[in-house]
Amino acid sequence: MSPEDRWLDQDAGPVVRPYTVTRGRTRTRGDALDLIAVLEATGVPPRARLRLDPEHRMLLTLCRRPVAFADIASEVDLPVGVVRVLVDDLRDENLIRVLKPTPTGDAPDELVLRKLLHGLRAL
């Protein structure tokens, strides 16, 4: 059996469990990350003693330009919860910034929308 075969089961996929990628963490330390949050690499070089895992480096590469968290999560072959923890690690090290979407205001009242729809149908 080659060394590569030990880490991949053809039927089950990767043998390494997601919690090993996050070193056992299942939750973020900071604010929760929305799927519509935009991520962007800060350009700050990692500290000399910081050891980035391949998954962290991959996320940094994907965040060179602003990108939605949902797009990042769909791009990597990891569960969303794992990606949240990894992004949180990078955010803690000031390697990624999270740009939260600005609220667009209150949603219109349902009654107003119904009257508008009724008026349009009457045309």
Domain layout of the chain by residue ranges: 3-122
pLDDT at 6 over 60: no
Residue 41's DSSP bridge partners are: 96
Q: How do residues 85-104 score in pLDDT, each as one tens digit?
A: 888 888 988 999 988 766 66
* pLDDT at residue 95 in the model: 93
Burial of 46 (0-12, 13-18, 19+ CB in 10 A): middle
Q: How do residues 8-22 score in pLDDT, each as one tens digit?
A: 555 555 545 665 665
Q: How far is CA 23 from CA 2, 3, 16, 27, 89, in A?
A: 26, 22, 12, 11, 11
Whether the Cβ atoms of residue 80 and residue 43 lie closer than 8 Å to each other: no
